[in-house]
């Protein structure tokens, strides 16, 4: 009689241990899935920002090079101004 009870108790412990291992694996997988989903969202946002930048650069590349463009590049990139122009700096850069 004791052997049957002992076997049942061992079987119960084995089932409990398997259940605990299964739950642990499930929780770890859910945590990893959450990390992957967060990374996917971050990458999607980064892709959107980069696509906006690509579109902006394509637009600038396809824009005609006229006097206004040359003046803007000279001012923004090279810091050039017209000789008779008075330039004020606010020191906020």
Higher pLDDT, 60 or 36: 36
The 10s digit of each residue's pLDDT in 51-75 is 999 999 998 888 888 888 888 888 8
CA-to-CA separations, 18 to 9, 26, 80, 90, in angstroms, rounded: 14, 12, 75, 70
Task: Give mean pLDDT, residues 20-43.
Answer: 98
pTM: 0.55
Task: Tell me if 46 sits within 8 A of 40, measured CB to CB.
Answer: no
Residues 6 or more apart whose Cβ sits within 8 Å of residue 74: 80
Which residue, 85, 84, 82, is CA-closest to 67?
A: 82
Please check the confidence at residue 41 and state whether its pLDDT lies above 90.
Answer: yes
How does residue 24 score in pLDDT terms, banded at 50, 70 and 90? very high
Q: What local confidence, expressed as pLDDT, does residue 93 receive?
A: 55
Q: Where are the domains of the chain?
A: 2-63
Task: Give mean pLDDT, residues 6-32.
Answer: 95
């Amino acid at each position: 009689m004791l052997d049957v009870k002992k076997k049942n108790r061992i079987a119960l412990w084995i089932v409990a241990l398997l259940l605990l291992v299964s739950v642990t694996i499930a929780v770890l997988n859910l945590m990893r899935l959450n990390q992957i989903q967060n990374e996917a969202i971050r990458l999607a946002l980064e892709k959107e920002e980069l696509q906006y930048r690509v579109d902006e650069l394509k637009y600038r590349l396809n824009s005609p090079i006229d006097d206004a463009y040359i003046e803007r590049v000279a001012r923004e990139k090279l810091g050039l101004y017209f000789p008779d122009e008075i330039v004020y700096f606010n020191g906020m850069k």
